[in-house]
Amino acid sequence: MQKKYLMTPGPTPVPAEVMLTMAAPMIHHRTPDFSAAFKAAIESLKYVFETKGDALLFACSGTGVMESAIVNCFSAGDTVIVCRNGKFGDRQKQICEVYGLTVIDLAYAWDQVVDPADVATALSENPGVRGVIVTQSETSTGVLNDVKSIGAIVGEYDECVLIVDSITGIGAVECKTDEWGLDVVMTGSQKGLMLPPGLAALTVSEKAWRAYGRSTLPKFYFDWMKYKKNVEKDTTPFTPAVSLVLGLNEALTMIKQEGLENTIARHSRLAEATRRGCEALGLKLFAPPEGRGNAVTPVWVPEGVDGKAIVKIMKDKHGVTIAGGQDDYAGRIFRIGHLGYFGEFDIITTLAALEMTLAELGYPFERGAGISAAESVFMEG
Ligand SMILES: *Cc1c(COP(=O)(O)O)cnc(C)c1O
Number of the ligand 1 atom closest to the C-alpha atom of 137: 13
Residue ID of nearest Cα to ligand 1 atom 10:
62
Q: Rounded mean pLDDT of 50-62?
A: 98
Domain at 358, CATH number = 3.90.1150.10
Q: What pLDDT is recorded for position 175? A: 98
pLDDT per residue over 154-176, tens digit each?
999 999 999 999 999 999 999 99
Does the structure show a pLDDT above 90 at 153?
Answer: yes
The rounded Å distance from CA 356 to ligand 1 centre is 31
CB distance 63 to ligand 1 below 6 Å: yes
Q: What pLDDT is recorded for position 359? A: 98
Same domain, 244 and 296: no
pLDDT-derived band of residue 128, with 50, 70 and 90 as boundaries?
A: very high
Express as a percent the part of the chain with pLDDT over 70: 100
Q: What single string gives the DSSP state of each residue in 151-182?
A: HHHHTT-TT-EEEEE-TTTTTTS---TTTTT-
d(CA 100, CA 74): 10
Q: Among 8, 63, 137, 244, which is best to mutate for testing ligand 1, by the most ligand atoms less than 8 A from CB?
A: 63
CB distance 165 to ligand 1 below 6 Å: yes
Same domain, 253 and 266: no
Q: Report how far apart, in Å, the C-alpha atoms of 265 and of each of 42, 47, 343 are.
A: 23, 16, 12
Q: Among 83, 168, 185, 186, which is best to mutate for testing ligand 1, by the most ligand atoms less than 8 A from CB?
A: 168
Does the structure show a pLDDT above 90 at 381?
Answer: no
Q: Rounded mean pLDDT of 228-250?
A: 98
Same domain, 190 and 226: yes
Question: Could you tell me the pTM of the whole model?
Answer: 0.98
Number of the ligand 1 atom closest to the C-alpha atom of 166: 13
Does the structure show a pLDDT above 80 at 34?
Answer: yes
Does the structure show a pLDDT above 90 at 103?
Answer: yes
Domain at 139, CATH number = 3.40.640.10
pLDDT-derived band of residue 276, with 50, 70 and 90 as boundaries?
A: very high
Same domain, 27 and 69: yes
Domain's final residue, options 233, 257, 281:
257
Residue ID of nearest Cα to ligand 1 atom 14:
167
Q: Whose CA is closest to 246, among 40, 14, 47?
A: 40
pLDDT-derived band of residue 124, with 50, 70 and 90 as boundaries?
A: very high
Same domain, 180 and 272: no
The rounded Å distance from CA 138 to ligand 1 centre is 9
Same domain, 235 and 326: no
The rounded Å distance from CA 168 to ligand 1 centre is 8
Same domain, 156 and 285: no
pLDDT-derived band of residue 1, with 50, 70 and 90 as boundaries?
A: very high
pLDDT per residue over 330-376, tens digit each?
999 999 999 999 999 999 999 999 999 999 999 999 999 999 999 99
Q: Rounded mean pLDDT of 118-145?
A: 98
Count the domains in the chain: 2
- The average confidence (pLDDT) of the chain is 98
pLDDT-derived band of residue 61, with 50, 70 and 90 as boundaries?
A: very high
Same domain, 239 and 329: no
pLDDT-derived band of residue 73, with 50, 70 and 90 as boundaries?
A: very high
Same domain, 225 and 333: no
Domain's final residue, options 206, 225, 257:
257
Same domain, 253 and 264: no
CB distance 187 to ligand 1 below 6 Å: no
Q: Rounded mean pLDDT of 266-273?
A: 98
State which residues form the domain around 248.
16-257
Strands 296-300 and 333-337: antiparallel
The rounded Å distance from CA 337 to ligand 1 centre is 14
Q: What pLDDT is recorded for position 75? A: 98
CB distance 167 to ligand 1 below 6 Å: yes
pLDDT-derived band of residue 254, with 50, 70 and 90 as boundaries?
A: very high
Same domain, 346 and 371: yes
CB distance 11 to ligand 1 below 6 Å: no
Q: Rounded mean pLDDT of 42-52?
A: 98
Which phi and psi (to 5°) does residue 365 adopt?
-165, 170
Same domain, 251 and 264: no
pLDDT per residue over 306-334, tens digit each?
999 999 999 999 999 999 999 999 999 99
Residue ID of nearest Cα to ligand 1 atom 4:
62
The rounded Å distance from CA 359 to ligand 1 centre is 33
Burial class for 365, CB neighbours closer than 10 Å (0-12, 13-18, 19+): middle
Q: What pLDDT is recorded for position 59? A: 98
The rounded Å distance from CA 295 to ligand 1 centre is 12
The rounded Å distance from CA 307 to ligand 1 centre is 23
CB distance 140 to ligand 1 below 6 Å: no
Q: Rounded mean pLDDT of 13-23?
A: 98
pLDDT-derived band of residue 234, with 50, 70 and 90 as boundaries?
A: very high
Residue ID of nearest Cα to ligand 1 atom 12:
167
Domain's final residue, options 257, 274, 300:
257
Q: Whose CA is closest to 302, among 318, 321, 279, 320?
A: 279
